[in-house]
Structure 1
Amino acid sequence: MKYINLMLLFLSAIALSIFLQWTGMVMPWLFGAMIATVIFYRVVTTDFHYPKWFGNLGLVIIGAEIGSTFTLETLADMAEDYITIIMLSLLIIGLSLLLARLFMKMTGCTLETAVLASIPGALSQMIVMAEEEERADLLLVTLTQMSRIVLVVIFVPFIASFTANSDGISTNEMVPSLTSAATPSMLWMLPTVLLVIYIMMRMKFPVPYMIGPMLVVLIWNVVTDYTFSVNISFMYAAQLLFGIRIGIQISTLVNQLNGRLILSMMIQNMLLIIGTLGLVMAFLLISEHNFTNLFLSAAPGGIGQIIIVAVETGANIAMISSYHIFRIFFILLVVAPLINLLLKRNRKRRHA
């Protein structure tokens, strides 16, 4: 019965996505899958099992699309843009830490919980640190981080859609699709992707199912200069698979939240999005980038969700992913160790 219900869920998600695409809605396959899943979960039945690898397959497709946008030319352009990348990333993280104080006052949580709940773009790392920190509320950290992803998926596409395609065409629009460009020599990428994903998982690196294929395709582009783009039908499938996963997360989140927590998370995350808008508007005065590209580069969400928005709005995927990848590395290599050090000092001070 579980498999029949899962099949019905897929059919419902596909039908609603097609309808939303017909109405002209932004990101119809992602939102269609999300909405259909929430309705199915809340109204029809919860008696189905959604394999984790379905959502991961969606991430692999998205990762391949990100990698396909990186060429020698785009890498050279990004190298010239390193100051903006660093400054904008630092300001977003700084804004998040400022809002942690407000979140602490609204929820009455500990400083440890507020800080770990506020850092954007490194959900898995923050959850692991919350597990190790005795004064951190693991449930609240997880719910806040996940709710931010949901809010970003809901609000960011609508904000970005107002200036979508202001540069004319998408970065990948002029290169052939994967199915038309495929050659036997490209088959080596499949086992290589699996190997890189495995290595990154062993290293506990965030989003290995996306970063792994991205790196493999990026290296292919740089070494061979034989570029391609992922077929739009594959991207629809990725959005569908990923949207169902997010829909399930939304449905389970609702059962664990009360009114005060929902309001606190909404205020904190909306202020973060509004603050990001303000920073982007300021950077537009000194930058040659357009609003859509810069806003999506700075948006405080997971790289998977943001790249889907970038694909749908025809934005510069290579630029946007480079900003988010830098932020992930910076959080993992600098911010997380610093936070961990501060939390350890607080623990020693309390036990002294």
Structure 2
Amino acid sequence: MMKVLIIACIGGALFAQLHIPIPWMLGPIVFVMLTQFIYKGALKWPAPFLNIGVVIVGTVIGIQFDTSLFNQMGSLLLYMVLVNVILIGGALLIAQCTSKWTGLPMKVAILGAIPGGLSQTVAFALEEKITDISTITYFQIIRLLLVVMIVPFIVSGEAISKPVTDASMSFTLVALIALSWCVSYVTNRVHLPVAFFITPIMFVLTLQLTTPIAMPAIPEYTMVVAQVLIGAHIGLMLKPHMLKFPKRVLVGGVMSALALILLTIGSSYLMMGLMGTSFVSSFLSAAPGGLDQMVLLAEAIHADVSLVSMFQTFRLLFIFLCIMPILKIAFRRKSLALQENT
């Protein structure tokens, strides 16, 4: 763990000196990932460290959340459904092309292309008795890596400079983060999707709306800590043995991810036309990356973090509550049809 922490901090510091976007997340991702292919010793980063980073992000977003967006919920809901239908419909078409080119079963290609959470997608695949879990994991991880590493450079030109704050860590902020983690632990135990991100936002928002508690200022280094904790975890996700897949599968995963990024660019221009939002906020709202990573990036470049949080959270819930049940029915019908034919 200490090795990973040191490598992550070296990567973050170097990327910061090179003025690379969100350096304290991209630096750890790149350095830790490359170290795995060189260093043969054990490298570990426990899940609780990732969860703490995600809770920090969720708490900060809850403090900064623009509650006036709730007044536009009717129109926002329509736009969120529209953007997600386009993104998921495009993912299904990409999966069909990937299946034909790589020879992968359609079920595997679909679950590899759907921009949902890795753990939930793998759990769904196990439930459906799909045996090729490693390929699905590769497709999901390579998409996350490419989105997290490419998207910052796409939106960095649109970044809005923000004043540097000299706020110091306060007892209120530490207490909020600690309480958010405790509540998130409980909601995670009852299997709330993305519990360690969604719960802190809802918890802090509830405090803001129902109590006179003044929200604390956020020191700059708070999000740096979150970036390192999350970046180190992502850097360890791509294992060397994953690159032993057939070349068409390896290339198919990369091309699938790039196609989704291109689709996101088109969706973001649609959002700009319909909602009048900036390109960076629209793009990050639709980007098929991890929820916490896209929100971290939105916060780092001063995009509309509230809008990005709402769109990204809605996409995950939309996939878990609507798309997964539809896929389950479709897979079962196809399985029954095959049994009848045989």
Q: Same fold (TM over 0.5)?
A: yes
Contact persistence 1:110–1:136 (CA under 8 A) = no
Contact 1:113 1:140 in 2 (8 A): yes
Q: Give the match for residue 232 of structure 2.
A: 244
CA distance, structure 2, for counterparts of residue 115 and residue 332 of structure 1 = 14
Structure 2 residue 324 is matched with structure 1 residue 346: no
2:48 is equivalent to residue 47 of structure 1: no
Query: Which residue of the partner structure matches residue 179 of structure 1?
Result: 169
Q: How does 1:1-352 map to 2 (within 5 A)?
A: 6-135=1-130, 137-165=132-160, 169=162, 179-180=169-170, 182-183=171-172, 187=175, 190-191=178-179, 193-194=181-182, 196-224=183-211, 226-252=214-240, 254-352=242-340
- Change in 2 beyond 3 A, CA 1:241/1:257: farther
Q: Distance in 2 between matches of 1:136 and 1:341?
A: 18
Give the alignment's TM-score, normalised by structure 2. Answer: 0.90
Query: Does the Cα contact within 8 Å between 1:116 and 1:141 map onto a contact in 2?
Result: yes
Report sequence identity in percent: 27
Whether the 8 Å contact between 1:189 and 1:216 is mirrored in structure 2 is: no
CA distance in 2, matches of 1:189, 1:35: 28
Question: CA contact under 8 A between 1:65 and 1:229: conserved in structure 2?
Answer: no
TM-score (norm 1): 0.88
**Counterpart-to-counterpart distance in 2, 1:57 and 1:262:** 32
Q: In structure 2, give the amino acid aligned to 1:98.
A: L
Q: Is this contact kept in 2: 1:9–1:40, CA < 8 A?
A: no
One-letter code aligned to 2:318: F
Q: State the distance in 1 between where 2:309 and 2:244 align.
A: 32
User: What code does the residue aligned with 1:239 have?
Assistant: Q
- In the TM superposition, residue 229 of structure 1 has moved relative to its aligned partner by 4.9
Q: Given that residues 62 and 304 in structure 1 are in contact (C-alpha distance below 8 angstroms), is that contact kept between their aligned partners in structure 2?
A: yes
Contact in 2 for aligned 1:113/1:136 (Cα 8 Å): no
Aligned CA distance change for structure 1 residues 59 and 253 (closer, same or farther; 3 Å): farther
Q: Specify every segment of 5 or more residues in structure 1 that has no aligned partner in the other structure, as ranges.
A: 1-5
Of 38-47 and 272-281, deviating more is 38-47
Structure 1 Cα separation of the partners of residues 15 and 58 of structure 2? 25
**Contact preservation (8 Å) 1:64, 1:230:** no
Give a deviation string over 1:95-131, Cα, whole Å, max 9, x none.
Answer: 1111111111122111111221111123222211211
Write out per-residue CA displacement over residues 49-97 of structure 1, whole angstroms, 9 at most, x where no aligned residue: 3222112211111111222222432332455433222211221111111
Q: 1:57–1:262: structure 2 CA closer, same or farther, 3 Å change rule?
A: same
Supply the distance in 2 between the matched residues of 1:276 and 1:344 (Cα, whole angstroms).
30
Q: Which runs of 5+ in 2 are unaligned?
A: none
Instruction: Using the TM superposition, name which of 145-154 and 106-115 deviates more.
Output: 106-115
String of CA shifts for 1:321-350, please: whole Å, max 9, x gaps: 100111111111111111111111122222
Q: CA shift at 1:161, angstroms?
A: 0.9
Distance 1:193 1:223, change over 3 A: farther
